[in-house]
Each structure stands twice: as structure tokens, then as C-alpha cells.
Structure 1
Amino acid sequence: GSALTQLYYPNGSFVDTLGTLYVADQENHRVMRWTQGATQGTVIVDGNGRGAGANQLNRPDALSFDRHGNLYVADHYNDRVQRFSIE
């Protein structure tokens, strides 16, 4: 599903030191974040539908953070890795 309580083909995930979960929600073309204990996620990347624009993803399938807190997303069908500053 596409609600903030649902995922559609989750693929990559990451848990930070605070217990926050990040998920590449592949078929919803977005990256979601759940803080520890949350029952609903937050869209932190995309939410603009599938596409090739700078603010869009097309089937993200992996993610990682660097030591500066930048999020890197493997944007599978766009054949690119995008970097995002997450606050």
C-alpha cells in the first residue's frame, strides 16, 4: 500500500544509532523514516511520483548514510545514485 503505515515492496533498509528505521519503498518510489516507537512513517525522499527528476525516484532499492548524515539512494531504474541532505 501507499499509506504512511504501509510499504509496497520494501527493499533496502538502515537503522541508525537512535533506532530510527529508514526504508527504500521501491514500488512507492520513496524513502520512508520511522522513529523508534512510531506507528506511522514519514516520507523523507520523493513523494513526487515515479520519474527521473532531481526530486523523484524510480524504484529505489538500497540506501546508506555517510558520516556527515547525507543519505545515498540507489535509484535503480534511473541508473544513478542520488545524495540527499536529511535533517
Structure 2
Amino acid sequence: MKWKEFGTDIAEGNELRPLKSPSSIFIDNDDDKTIYIVDSENDRIIKWKLNEHYDETLAGGNGKGKQMNQLIYPKDVIIDRENDSFIISDYGNKR
């Protein structure tokens, strides 16, 4: 196997909220090469598309909490294209 010599740095997050303790990634090859990053200590899941300069918050990002728009230390994410949904392991909320 031969690796590409150059890559794209996406691990910094955006300028306002850099990644803090990312715990996992999910690479979706079915669409436009999207990477989903679990940013545990920022309590959010971000979505980053190949050749884009900015990420998008997919879930969380509203501070720690128990509301449906909040996460506490998420650990993993799975994208289910067949059912057009995603599954998040929200460790701090035990859900």
C-alpha cells in the first residue's frame, strides 16, 4: 500500500471553538466524503466535508446539559444512511 504524501489538516476545529479531546471519527464514503468528529469536551458532534474550509455542528454545541439539544461527553457517532439518521453515544447523559 502506498500512502499519499500530503493530506488535509482538519483537527483544529474552527477558530472560535477548536477541538478539545476528540474521541472518535466516522468517515462517510457514501456521499461527498464527509467526516463526523466527536468533540467530547466541547460536547458536540461536528460534520466536515472534503474540500470545505469550515465545519458544521451536527449535534450538541449548546453547553453541557440534559436537554435534547445538549450532550455531555459524547463518545461515538454512527451515521445510518439507510434510515437517514445518526446514533450518538452520549456518555454523560447515559443515552
- The alignment's TM-score, normalised by the length of structure 1, stands at 0.81
Instruction: Give the number of aligned pairs.
Output: 79
Output the CA distance in 1 between the equivalents of 2:79 and 2:47: 13
Aligned to 1:42: 56
Aligned to 1:65: 79
Greater strand share, structure number:
1
User: Which secondary structure state, in structure 2, belongs to the residue aligned with residue 27 of structure 1?
Assistant: helix
1:19-34 alignment runs, 5 A limit? 19-34=33-48
CA shift at 1:40, angstroms? 2.0
Superposed structure 1 runs of 4+ greater than 3 Å apart: none
Post-superposition CA distance 1:18-62 (Å, at most 9, x none) = 210001100000000111012321111112111111110000010
Of structures 1 and 2, the larger Rg is shown by 2
Q: CA RMSD in A?
A: 1.7
CA shift at 1:3, angstroms? 5.7
Structure 1: gaps spanning 5 or more residues: 81-87
Contact 1:4 1:42 in 2 (8 A): no
Aligned to 1:79: 94
Structure 2: gaps spanning 5 or more residues: 1-11
Identity of aligned residues (%): 29
